[in-house]
Chains A and B, each alone.
Chain A
Amino acid sequence: MTNKLTASPARREFLKKSVAATGGLVIGFYLPGAHRIAEAQAQAAKPAPPNAFLRIGKDGSVTVQVKHLEFGQGVMTSLPMLVAEELECEWSKVRAELAPAAPVYAHTMFGMQMTGGSSSVVNSWDQLRTVGAMARTMLVSAAAAKWKVDEKQCRAEKGLVLGPGGRKIAFGAIADAAAALPMPEKVALKDPKLFKLIGQPTKRIDAAAKGNGRAKFGLDLTGDDIPNLHTAVVRRPPIFGAKVKSFDASKVHGIPSVTHVVQTANGVAVVAKNFWAAKKGRDALEVVWDLEPGSKASSTELHASYHQLAQMPGAIAKAGDVEGLKGAAKTVVAEYEMPFLAHAPMEPLNCTVRVSEDRCEMWVGSQFQTFDQGTAATVAGLKPEQVTLHTMLAGGGFGRRANPALDYIGEAVEIAKQVKVPVKTVWTREDDIKGGYYRPMYVHKVTAGLDAGGKVVGWDHVIVGQSILAATPFASMMIKGGIDATSVEGVSDTPYDIPGMRASLHTPSNGVPGLWWRSVGHSHTAFAMECTMDDLAKAAGVDPVEFRRGYLAKQPRVLKVLNTVAEKSGWGKPLPAGRARGVALHESFGTVVAHVAEVSVEGGEIKVHRVVSAIDCGRVVNPLTVVAQVEGAAAFGLSAALYGKVTLKDGVVEQSNFHDYPVLRMNAMPKMEVHIVEGGDRPTGVGEPGTPPIAPAVGNAVFALTGKRLRTLPFRMDEVA
């Protein structure tokens, strides 16, 4: 892999404006050196330079380039809100477009263009408000100059510049003049007390197109969009790491519309004029595999070996003195087991590529745009600047579309390069479920003790699981002292003030490709942490909410979320017979979420009736998004807690589609009630933090109801019965 994380380009950027080819004002952050390219592109009769953030048309339309992938989390609405707040335009005039890959769109904290870590709003907070303020300042200056009055007598409001004596002019009418002015060196951002849009419930910009079939996802590209577009379907190895020994395509070539059969690094691709022919071709393909280099891992054996490793401390992630455990009056010892999980986004993976001798153009719903641009360049034998990546809407992703490995991007380029026609490589659902890059399997062992007064005196937490980051370019940055930060997050940095707490990590490898999955390490650490807190509360004879309060004295923000969820859920109040509540709390991505789940166990099934949630995500940009994301993140976590499990036998994945990898459906969706706890000057993460605490909230409710502690995910009903 040639991609390298660069030092934050934000520091090297400066603001630049230009006149759009169609007139109007364009504001972007240009990189020194990229300057000339950008101007040339501006002249190429395009509506705007591709690295602009904002374009104000002569018609008054305001178009914001969204640098992050829109895959449900609402960035096509929340990011334009940041611009519009400072610009003082009318919200109804705002449009959103997905930005292509370009260094100027780099994440301001991570240095590459990417979507992840619940950080899209967080990293854009200052950047996009500044863009809006710059544009507003220039529009006001231009109007003042036109009227020959002092700028101080003018202001912007609802898409107009207003001046003394009732003067007014629309943004669109002054945009050309504004574009001719120098950029202001510095702009002041609004006092949050004056926010009109930020903090207001704002409906999604992309909703209508997603309800009438017109929204275009990556998979929806056709020959109307890209002439002569073909479709590829790939036969990949039966076990991870196996290689093609030989293949026989004689039965494939007779299938009408099949055009090519080509080998790739990881399999054999059948290319056809349409999907169905390509899939038929793949079904008819005969491949002989070299299984020797492949992984023969089996889940049962992996679990056994992980449990064995968990009996000894690993590399120290959080140093603490656990000696207090020796004199503990009561000790809780428990092991937790979490399986491999597939992301299973609704839109199966796909990537469309057109390669010529000196160019590669691709269309993909990518969470890693500039990284994937680099991957494509490497595979195509080109420079990154010869690769254009158009960001498409993605039908979910949950981390699966952020892969530093060659994966679906490299494969699609490999195919297009060989067949020399534009190709859309399409994964079937089976390819997706069997395709690896799973949330890894983990085992936790927790030994925690209480003194005679019911206070924690020691907590020894051992985590076993493969490293997500080990084989990636992020390793040097995020693996320190043998600790992959994503394996231990949520334990090593718990907000609970627990005396004598030690966390350690074993990192076995198993040949099964792993990847981040919504909430990453928190997806497993919260379960072990919050079930243990519940066990300790029980052992201490203290109410679970009250017990947690005892360890949050120095964490007023976390405590407030806990108190809010307790109050709003009616914690402690009677429930109908056969129902019980469970609480869980977790901090991730700078945000605190607590859930209270209300459950019953009927006919051998756990039924979650209602979930009440509280979230503190700092400054709220769009409360509608916050509520929707907490609902969705909880549903995603509940899906995994109730059903999610990928298992392997002798290296072969045993699941293939939604019949054997079931997910949450409407009849199992609990009623939800989300309460936002206001706090903080800046936003913190929203997309992921609702996921971690749902599994322990449900597990704790089942424990309260039945006295049975479920320590394996997904929940096993034979443990309840």
Chain B
Amino acid sequence: MITVTVNGQPFKIPVAADTPLLWILRDHLKMTGTKFGCGMALCGACTVHVNGEAVRACVTPLSAVEGKRVETIEDIGNTALGKKVQEAWLAEDVVQCGYCQSGQIMSAVALLSKNKNPSDTDIDAAMSGNICRCGTYNRVRAAIKRAAAAPAPVKAKA
């Protein structure tokens, strides 16, 4: 039995240690905001944070996150930065089908947490692992810049 902390809550997971984190989240914890797109870390739809780093949950075995902090799209709006990014996403009317957007937002938050004012090149480097078939890339870029320029919120709502 492996224990993993997801969005601040510890869970004991009774499945094989080689099961990818993605399917732990989706099938066992019923947190379906993290998406399945390729299963090979090629599209970024499954991006989550593990100890603050963006990782592709589809190729991350449960054993690799034992005792670590996993954060998903369901909870990212409870952080100041996550909330700011989500608001920027709304302001730029980014989404179309929306399926890739959980991953886009998780990658964007990870980028902005390390780089408060990313250049276009920085954004390309951080975001090119996230595929969007609707072609919302320019709006994703605009939303990241908007979030970077936005003043820090006074306090994130719980």
Chain A residues with a Cβ under 8 A of chain B: 70-74, 203-204, 206-217, 219-220, 222-224, 231, 256, 274-276, 344-348, 393-396, 398, 426, 428-430, 624, 628, 631-636, 639, 657-659, 663-667, 669, 671-672
CA distance A405 to B114 in the complex (A): 49
Whether B127 lies near A666 (C-beta < 8 A) is yes
5 more A-B residue pairs beyond the given contacts A213-B33, A223-B30, A429-B38, with a C-beta to C-beta distance below 8 A: A207-B90, A213-B102, A275-B26, A276-B23, A632-B134
Provide the residues of chain A in CB contact with B136, threshold 8 Å: 628, 631-632
Encoded as 1 (CB less than 8 Å from any A CB) or 0, chain B from 42 to 72 comes to 1101000000000000000000000000001
Q: Is there a chain A Cβ closer than 8 Å to B32's Cβ?
A: yes
Residues 6 to 48 of chain B near chain A (Cβ within 8 Å): 15-16, 19-20, 23, 26-28, 30-40, 42-43, 45
Does A665 contact B128, Cβ atoms closer than 8 Å? yes
B100 CB contacts on chain A under 8 angstroms:
346, 395
Query: Within 8 Å CB of B134, what residues of A?
Result: 72, 346, 396, 632, 635-636
Beta-carbon contact of A276 and B43 below 8 Å? no
Please state if B36 and A657 are interface contacts (CB–CB under 8 Å).
no
Can you name 10 A-B pairs with beta carbons within 8 Å?
A: A207-B94, A275-B26, A275-B27, A276-B15, A344-B133, A345-B99, A346-B43, A396-B134, A659-B42, A666-B123
Which residues of chain B are within 8 angstroms of A276 by Cβ–Cβ distance?
15, 19-20, 23, 27
Given the known A-B contacts A276-B19, A394-B97, A396-B99, are A219 and B140 also in contact in the complex, defined by CB atoms under 8 Å?
no
Asked if B33 and A214 make an inter-chain contact with CB atoms under 8 angstroms apart, the answer reads yes
A-contacting residues of B (Cβ < 8 Å)? 15-16, 19-20, 23, 26-28, 30-40, 42-43, 45, 72-74, 76-77, 86, 89-90, 93-102, 105, 123-125, 127-141
Contact A212 B135 (CB under 8 A): no
In the complex formed, the residue of A with least CB distance to B137 is A669
Q: Is the CB of B138 within 8 A of A631?
A: yes
Q: Is the CB of A669 within 8 A of B133?
A: no
Minimum C-beta distance from B154 to chain A (A)? 20
Given contacts A203-B90, A628-B96, contact A395 B74 (CB under 8 A): no
A394 to B133, CA, bound (A): 12
In Å, the complex CA distance between A208 and B86 comes to 8
Instruction: Report whether A666 and B141 are in contact in the complex, using a CB–CB cutoff of 8 Å.
Output: yes
Residues of B within 8 A of A659 (CB): 40, 42
Name the distance in Å between B139's Cβ and chain A's nearest Cβ: 8
A224 contacts which of B16, B30, B45 (Cβ < 8 Å)? B30
Given contacts A206-B98, A658-B42, contact A667 B93 (CB under 8 A): no
Residue of B nearest to A395 (CB): B99
Contact B77 A212 (CB under 8 A): yes
Choose from B28, B32, B86, B137 the contact partner of A635 (Cβ within 8 Å). Answer: B137
A70 proximity list for chain B (CB < 8 A):
97
Which of B73, B127, B141 touches A213 (beta carbons < 8 Å)? Answer: B73
Bound CA–CA A256/B129 (angstroms) = 33
Whether B131 contacts A211 by the Cβ 8 Å rule is no
Residues of A within 8 A of B30 (CB): 222-224
- A668, B36: Cα distance in complex, Å: 23
B150 nearest CB across to chain A (Å)? 15
* Alpha-carbon distance A659/B42, docked complex (angstroms): 7
CB distance from B140 to the nearest CB of A (A): 7
Residues of the A chain whose Cβ atoms lie less than 8 Å from the Cβ of B94: 207, 211
- Chain B residue nearest to A671 in the complex (CB): B138
Cβ of A274 and Cβ of B35 under 8 Å apart? no
Give, as a whole number of angstroms, the nearest-CB distance from A350 to chain B: 9
Do A212 and B45 touch (CB < 8 A)? no
Residues on B with C-beta less than 8 A from A634 are: 135
Would you give the shortest CB distance from A143 to chain B, in whole angstroms?
35
Measured CA separation A430–B35 after assembly (Å): 16
Contact call A347/B32, Cβ cutoff below 8 A: no
Q: Which residue of A lies closest to B88 (CB)?
A: A211
Using Cβ atoms and an 8 Å threshold, which residues of chain A touch B23? 274-276
The answer to whether residues A395 and B127 also contact, given A212-B77, A631-B135, A658-B42 and a CB cut-off of 8 A, is: no
Q: A212-B74, A274-B28 are in contact. Are A666 and B39 (CB under 8 A)?
A: no
Determine if A624 and B93 form an interchain contact, defined as CB atoms under 8 angstroms apart: yes
Distance of B88 from chain A, by nearest CB (Å): 10
Q: Which residues of A contact B32 (CB under 8 A)?
A: 213, 216-217, 219-220, 222
Looking at B31, B89, B138, which has the most chain A CB atoms within 10 Å of its CB? B138
Q: How far is the CA of A211 from the CA of B88 in the complex (A)?
A: 10
Residue contact B93 to A207, C-beta cutoff 8 Å: yes
Residue numbers in B under 8 Å from A214 (CB-CB): 33, 74
- For residue A430, which residues in chain B have a CB less than 8 angstroms away from its CB? 39
Per a CB cutoff under 8 Å, which of A74, A216, A274 touches B96?
A74
- Distance between B15 CB and nearest chain A CB, rounded to angstroms: 8
Residues of A within 8 A of B137 (CB): 635, 664-666, 669
Q: Are A222 and B40 in contact (CB under 8 A)?
A: no
Nearest 9 Cβ contacts at the A-B interface: A213-B33, A635-B135, A395-B99, A210-B98, A72-B97, A72-B96, A213-B73, A220-B32, A669-B137
Given the known interface contacts A206-B98, A223-B30, A632-B96, the answer about A213 and B74 at a Cβ–Cβ threshold of 8 Å is yes
Contact (Cβ within 8 A) A207 B89? yes
From B102, B137, B139, name the one whose CB has the most chain A CB atoms within 10 angstroms. B137
Cβ-closest chain B residue relative to A231: B27
Q: How far is the CA of A631 from the CA of B136 in the complex (A)?
A: 8
Check if B99 sits within 8 Å of A346, measured CB to CB. yes
Residues on B with beta carbons closer than 8 Å to the beta carbon of A624: 93
CA distance A224 to B27 in the complex (A): 10
Q: Which of A217, A344, A633, A666 contacts B124 (CB 8 A)?
A: A666
Q: Which of A70, A212, A345, A394 has the most CB of B within 10 A?
A: A212
